[in-house]
Amino acid sequence: MTTFKEIRGTAIQVVSSDPSNPETGQIWYNSSSGTLKGYQLATINAWSAGGNLNTARRVLSGTGTQTAAVAAGGLSTVTTNATELYNGTSWTNSGNMNTARYYLAAAGTQTASVVFGGQSPPNFTATEKFNGSTWTSSGNLNTGRGGLGGIGLQTAALAFGGETGSNTAATELYNGTSWTSNPTGLNTARRNFTGAGTQTAGLAFGGYTTAYTAATESWNGSTWTSVNSLNTARGELGGAGTQTAALAFGGEAPPITSATELWNGTSWTTNPTGLGTPRSSLAGAGTQTAGLAFGGSNPSNTAATEEWTGVGLAVKTVTVS
C-alpha cells in the first residue's frame, strides 16, 4: 500500500505543540490537542468601522486615500455643498462647494481634487477645484450630466457615462483647466456606476442601463474595451484602486448589498465578507489594499465610514481534523 511519505516525500510529524515557523503546505499532528493541522495560503481581507461623517448623506462624491480623503456634496435632508476631510480617524468640516449637488463625480487628492457634473435637479456641467480648504470654479463639462464616473487627478481627470435625460456613453478628459470630448465613449452607456484608475489607465464597472449591470470596461487613454464582468450586477456602488487592482463594494443589486469584489486586472473575485453596513449610493476612496467607504443609504442616509484592509494572500494554521 502506498504511504503518505511515498506520495509527499515526508512523514507527518507528531508534535506536542504547533511548529513556531511552519512552511506553507506543511502538515502535522498535535498530540496535545489530538488534531491534525496544516499551514496554508489564504486571502485575508476585511472591513472595520471608521469615524462617522458629520453629515449623513447619500449620492455624494469621494476621492483621496484611506487616511486623507474628501467627501463632497450629496443629499442629506436637502441637496448639500458640504465638504468633509478624513484623516484616518475622523471627519472635519471644510469649505463648501460653490454649487450644491448630488450624483457628482470626483478625482484627485485631499489637497488637490476636482468635482464635476451632478444634479440639483438639472444636470450640471460645473467643475470645481479644491486646494484642501476652498473650492474654485474651473471649466465646464461639454456634456452636463449626473450619475457619472470620475477618476484620475486634478490636472488629469476623466469623466465618463452618466445621465443627460437618458444614459450616455460620453467620455471627457480634463487638463486642470478645460474638458475635451473623446471621439469614442463607453461601450455600454450607463449611469450610477463607479470606476478606478487614472486618465490613461482606468476601469469602469457596474451601473444602470435598462437594468442593473455587471459590465466592466478598461480604458487605455483613448478607447474603452469590455472585459470580465462583476459577479454581482449592481448600481450606486463604491469603488477604489487602479486599473489592475480595483475594489468594488456595496450598491443596489437589488436588494441593497454589502458585497465586496476584488479585480486583479483580468477578473473579479468575491470576498467572503462584505461591508459591515450594507448600503447603496455611497462613496469610495483609496486603494485595493487600503480602501475607504463612506455615506450612502439603507434606506435612510448614513454617516457610516468603513476602512478596508486588503492583506491579500497570507498563510494561516488550519485544523484538518
105, three cell numbers = 463625480
Candidate from 199-203, 267-271, 273-277, 309-313 with smallest mean pLDDT: 309-313
Q: Classify burial at 200, counting beta carbons within 10 Å of its beta carbon; exposed 0-12, middle 13-18, buried 19 or more.
A: middle
pTM of the model: 0.85
5 bridge partner residues = none
Q: What pLDDT score does 41 carry?
A: 52
pLDDT at residue 25, rounded to an integer: 72
CATH code of domain 46-310? 2.120.10.80
Residue with C-alpha cell 448630488?
A: 102
pLDDT digits (tens, 9 = 90+) for 207-239: 999 999 999 999 999 999 999 999 999 999 999
Pairing of strands 27-30, 13-15: parallel
Q: Is the peptide bond before 254 cis (omega within 30 degrees of 0)?
A: yes
**Residue 4 pLDDT grade (very low, low, confident, very high; cuts 50, 70, 90):** very low
Closest to 59 (Cα-Cα) out of 142, 152, 121: 121
Residues of the chain with CATH 2.120.10.80: 46-310
Q: How many CA within 13 A on the CB side of residue 159?
A: 38
The yes-or-no verdict on residue 244 having pLDDT over 70 is yes
| Cα distance between residue 238 and residue 250, in whole Å | 6
Helix (H, G, I), strand (E, B) or coil at 5: helix
Tell me if 135 sits within 8 A of 129, measured CB to CB: yes
Q: Which amino acid is at 148?
A: L
